[in-house]
Structure 1
Amino acid sequence: MNISVFPQPDYIYIDEILRLAKFHDKYDFALEWYQDLETLILVDGKKTPYDEAKLKRMYYYLNNKGELYFIEFKVENKYIPIGDVTFSKEDMPIVIGNKNYRHKGIGFRVILTLAKRAKFLGYDKIYVNEIYHYNIVSQKTFEKVGFKKYKKTAKGFSYILNLKNNPQLE
């Protein structure tokens, strides 16, 4: 979805092995991510696995709320999807669905890239609606980019990133 006068790019290249690919209707590969109990707890706070219908509803909802991308990693000259992220001014849900790619700094690089996009689009601030109190890795990743806790929620915290005078975004 276009969230500004600038259209959503088909690809955002983060570096030589990592890119964001604009959402498309082929997403069956993601179903296993959303059936994994550990992943579900981190992203939904529940253990209820997704089925194809729920996955479709989620992706179409997110695609209507902001710029939905698949996170792709280059393996043997081919990009493979390893997660997803939605970028909007109000929220930035991110999932590294393939566990083999967690704890490698990918989430940080994706979030930093999208924060730079927000600055390019002229935003003053961007937000994360909620990160659960027990999802320490996600909290630390957003904080490393410069996000600050600004509000306690029922299950965690909301975050804000001031894009002005932020040296990481230059």
Structure 2
Amino acid sequence: MIEIEENLRLERRRPTDKEALIWYQDEDLVYLVDGVREAYSLEKLRRMYAYLDRVGELYTIEVAENGVWKAIGDVTFSPDNLPIVIGDSSYRGQGIGKKVIQALIAEARKRGYPALCVREIYRENKASQKCFTACGFKGNAATAQGYSYRLEL
């Protein structure tokens, strides 16, 4: 577990199907993540999480509400990519993504990583681009549908 604040943490677990399927049924969210407006099936969701857990450390983003921890998104920690989703739309735009990324930057420094990379953020995903650049990431290269980013540590 990575404690970010008293009421915000990263729990080293995969979100439950019930938690995550709701997020990935939002076609607008899926468009920002995958570039298509197609809700995830349960099978696709499970395949995605199996892959993310294989290539990095999969965390559930949790907030405490009235003393109860609630899953609101997911992030995978890897020096090669940092996919993050604030799945619960009521928590978007509050700086949670930035706090999560800053915590993972601190963790990467503790582990001695030389850099962190983001493979691709789609052109349309301005909020994610802004979040990563606010955390010090620099545009690295144009990709087929957006841009890659890199942060030298």
Both proteins in one fold, TM over 0.5: yes
Q: Map 1:1-170; keep pairs closer than 5 Å.
A: 11-24=1-14, 26-163=16-153
CA distance in 2, matches of 1:150, 1:126: 11
1:115-159 Cα deviation digits (max 9, x unpaired): 111111111111000001111110010001000001100100000
Contact conserved, 1:149 with 1:157, CA < 8 A, in 2?
yes
Once the 2 structures are TM-superposed, how far is the Cα of residue 23 of structure 1 from its aligned partner?
A: 1.5
Count the aligned residue pairs. Answer: 153
Amino acid in the other structure paired with 1:73: V
Change (3 A) 1:87 1:32: same
Amino acid in the other structure paired with 1:36: D
CA distance in 1, matches of 2:5, 2:17: 23
1:166: which partner in 2?
A: none
Once the 2 structures are TM-superposed, how far is the Cα of residue 97 of structure 1 from its aligned partner?
A: 0.3
CA distance in 2, matches of 1:25, 1:40: 16
Instruction: Report SS of the residue matched to 2:5.
Output: coil
Contact conserved, 1:23 with 1:63, CA < 8 A, in 2?
no
Percentage of pairs with the same residue: 47
Once the 2 structures are TM-superposed, how far is the Cα of residue 37 of structure 1 from its aligned partner?
A: 1.1
CA distance in 2, matches of 1:34, 1:143: 25
CA distance in 2, matches of 1:61, 1:16: 30
CA distance in 1, matches of 2:14, 2:136: 30
Once the 2 structures are TM-superposed, how far is the Cα of residue 25 of structure 1 from its aligned partner?
A: 7.0
Stretch of structure 1 that moved more, 90-99 or 21-30: 21-30
Structure 1 unaligned spans of 5+: 1-10, 164-170
Amino acid in the other structure paired with 1:110: V
Q: RMSD value over aligned CA atoms? A: 0.9
Instruction: Report SS of the residue matched to 1:35.
Output: coil
Instruction: Report SS of the residue matched to 2:29.
Output: helix
